[in-house]
Amino acid sequence: MSDQIRLKKGLDLPIAGAALCEVTKRVAPGLVAVKPTDFRGMVPRLLVKEGDSVKAGTPLFADKKNPAVVFCSPVSGSVDAIVRGDKRKLLEVRVKADGKNEAEAFSVPKISSLGKAEMTEVLLKGGVWPCIKQRPFGTVADPEATPKAIFISGFNTAPLGADPEFALKDDFAAIQAGVEALGKLTKGGVHLSLPAKGLPANELHKLTGVVFHVFEGPHPAGNVGVQINHICPINKGEVVWTVDLHLVAVIGRLILTGKYDTRRIIAVAGPAAVKPSYVEVPAGVSMKDLAEYFGEGDVRIISGDVLTGEAVGPEGFLGFYHNQVSVLLEGKYFEMFGWANPIRSKKYSFSHAYPAFLRGGKKYEMDTNENGGERPFLMNDVYGKVLPMDIYPLYLFKACLAGDLEKMENLGIYEVIEEDVALCEYVCPSKIDIQNIIRQGIDLMMKEM
């Protein structure tokens, strides 16, 4: 049992439209997609063609650099379409379900006797390897690497995020099997972070074979990158692996049943969502299957949370790592003298330049308006207020902009990925796309290394 770590910096975004703790729909598999773009730095090699019939767990494409890492179909059916973008870049492999729910037969050996190499083999063959991400840089884990430890965040502080205590309440056995399997992959142990609030009642606290850490504080306390920074920061040359809790359950189900089963309970939420609540869906579900939850008008449908997610549109698909769909109104309107309005009661501001901080627990109907024009970096101290890490964010951003590899390395590029600096982008009064700066910095590092 480790000490409680209290984080003061950060912000719980007061956005309206949180999901009610109720599963209001179970989507039967229809059209689903696996998107190679969800996996950073991965160059896909296609293994199927249009019309091929597949089962749940049949590989659709593999990583060219690491052919053992395969990305599987989440449902049984046939390959409906292979969507390519500019320069024939592979964007989506769409699979149409046939309703038979067949899965690839896969026999799992008894895991307690396995070593690292055998366990890796099991997870690769079972198709669940992409669930494991690697830091630095947030790529799919390299099976050859030796991770210092494996980190799992047991709670979610992202705006409107799915609460794992509700969404995964039936998956306790699978999560237990999952952490046991992951434990075989590292000598550094599996580290699970839990929230201080409600700790005694937390089911996850009963897991065995993991090292617990307790965190308290606002978002991004639930981000695994922030937790690693406080538990055991990543140094140059080191590698750690991270797994989202709901994907630990996917790994666990493979171990328990031998099936590639990626069904998940996601939160559909947001100010423009109709009846925000939880929905059970197959991985890569089409947004068309969730259309009844999206409000009228010009809405933006986001796979993931409103800070880090990807706008996929009403015909898009859920991302591989996502367990949340956020719905926002597009903010295409002018606001006369908005910046001069002393009250501006419908908008939230983290800064004290507006009286929003006096309004306590009020939730806001946020939209996608930028609320200002893009300007140079000016207010230099706001970023540190929402990044609870031992890092000077502004200097890191500027090193990324300058493409100075040595400085990026010294200032902590190995310890962050985009989601960790998302709040910096939210609060930035100069409206600078900070996640994009970090993304380009990481891309440059990966290219040069």
Partner 1 sequence: MAQNFFDKIRPTFSEGGKLGWLHSSFDAFETFFFVPDRVTRKGGVHVKDCVDLKRLLIIVVMAMVPALLFGIWNLGFQHSKVFGLDWGFWQMVWYGFVKIIPLYLVSYIVGLGIEFASAQMKGHEVSEGYLVSGFLIPLIVPVDVPWWMLAIAVAFAVIIGKEVFGGTGMNIWNPALLARAFLFFSYPSKMSGDSVWVGGLSKALAGGTPWKGGEVVDALSGATPLSHASLSGLDAAGTSAWNLFLGNVPGAVGETSVIAILIGALILVCTGVASWKIMCSSVLGALFVGWLGNIGGVTDIPCWEQLLLGGFAFGTVFMATDPVTSAQTECGKWIYGFLIGALCVTVRLFNPGYPEGMMLAILLMNTFAPLIDHYVVSANVNRRLKRAKTV
Complex with partner 1: residue 108 or 427, whichever CB lies closer: 427
Complex with partner 1: residue 248 or 413, whichever CB lies closer: 413
In angstroms, the CA 131 to CA 152 distance is 12
Complex with partner 1: residue 50 or 374, whichever CB lies closer: 374
Complex with partner 1: residue 198 or 372, whichever CB lies closer: 372
**119 φ/ψ angles, rounded to the nearest 5 degrees:** -65, -45
Rule CB under 8 A: which of 12-71 touch partner 1? 13, 15
**317 φ/ψ angles, rounded to the nearest 5 degrees:** -130, 155
Asked if residue 445 binds partner 1 (CB under 8 A), the reply is no
Q: Which of 261, 259, 253 is nearest to 107 (CA)?
A: 259
Complex with partner 1: residue 245 or 328, whichever CB lies closer: 328
Site size for partner 1 (CB under 8 A): 75
Rule CB under 8 A: which of 207-246 touch partner 1? 233, 235-238
Asked if residue 351 binds partner 1 (CB under 8 A), the reply is yes
In angstroms, the CA 94 to CA 317 distance is 9
CB of 306 to partner 1, least distance (A): 5
Alpha-carbon dihedral of residues 254, 151, 302, 434, nearest 10 degrees? -150
Q: 191 near 297, Cβ under 8 Å? A: no
Asked if residue 335 binds partner 1 (CB under 8 A), the reply is yes
Asked if residue 347 binds partner 1 (CB under 8 A), the reply is yes
Asked if residue 350 binds partner 1 (CB under 8 A), the reply is yes
Contact segment (CB under 8 A) with partner 1 among 139-147, 206-214, 260-268, 331-339 equals 331-339
Maximum Cα–Cα distance across the chain: 68
Complex with partner 1: residue 146 or 436, whichever CB lies closer: 436
Rule CB under 8 A: which of 383-422 touch partner 1? 384, 390-392, 394-395, 410-412, 422
Contact segment (CB under 8 A) with partner 1 among 104-112, 130-138, 203-211, 337-345 equals 337-345
CB of 381 to partner 1, least distance (A): 7
Rule CB under 8 A: which of 415-444 touch partner 1? 422, 425-431, 433-436
Asked if residue 308 binds partner 1 (CB under 8 A), the reply is yes
Of these, 179, 210, 307, 408, which contacts partner 1 (CB under 8 A)?
307
Asked if residue 375 binds partner 1 (CB under 8 A), the reply is yes
CB of 332 to partner 1, least distance (A): 5
CB of 18 to partner 1, least distance (A): 14
Q: Which long-range contacts does 177-180 make (Cβ < 8 Å, 24+ apart)?
A: 177/111, 177/251, 177/252, 177/253, 177/255, 177/256, 178/243, 178/248, 178/249, 178/250, 178/251, 178/252, 178/255, 179/152, 179/207, 179/209, 179/210, 179/248, 179/252, 180/111, 180/112, 180/209, 180/255
314 in helix, strand or coil? coil
Ranges assigned E (strand) in 246-334: 264-269, 277-281, 299-303, 310-311, 324-329
Complex with partner 1: residue 310 or 443, whichever CB lies closer: 310
Amino acid in position 406: E
Instruction: Quickly count: other Cβ atoms within 10 Å of residue 385's Cβ.
Output: 17
Complex with partner 1: residue 4 or 410, whichever CB lies closer: 410
Asked if residue 334 binds partner 1 (CB under 8 A), the reply is yes
Instruction: Quickly count: other Cβ atoms within 10 Å of residue 304's Cβ.
Output: 21
Contact segment (CB under 8 A) with partner 1 among 17-25, 45-53, 57-65, 303-311 equals 303-311
Q: 244 near 131, Cβ under 8 Å? A: yes
